[in-house]
Amino acid sequence: MEVLGWLASALWSIAAVVLQLIWFLISGWVSTLLQITILIFAIYGLKYGWRRAPFEISRRTGSFLRFFWNWIRAREPDARPDVEVREVIREVRVREFGDVNLSTVMSLAMLTGLAALSTLPLSP
């Protein structure tokens, strides 16, 4: 009987660790969504008043959910059989010797300025 208790506590500990990991991973999303919800409620509360705001929020939420659901269900239009689909492959130019970008130029300018400053004599 003691083995069953030990096994149950081990399984409980493993489940607790898994749930803590899952909550840690989604807690940022939960916090963000809660902040967005509070912001929406505040904006609608100030705009429409506390009596009309819940109705407006539910109305706009419904229209947004319908839009989102239709967007999820949408499919790419199939091409007609008489239209030939060609994939355009763009050639990427490989950097050649002497090509520099802005970051490299700025780093070199900073190093040159530091070298120039290091050659100045220190005044007493």
Query: How does pLDDT run across 34-53, given as a tens digit for each residue?
Result: 899 999 999 999 999 989 99
Neighbours of 103 (CB within 10 A): 8
State the Cα–Cα distance between residues 44 and 91, nearest whole angstrom. Answer: 51
List the structure tokens of 120. Answer: 């100045």
**pLDDT band (50, 70, 90) for residue 98:** confident
Residue 99 CA to residue 97 CA, distance in Å, equals 6
d(CA 113, CA 68): 55
Enter the pTM of the model.
0.42
pLDDT tens digits along 79-97: 566 777 778 888 887 777 7
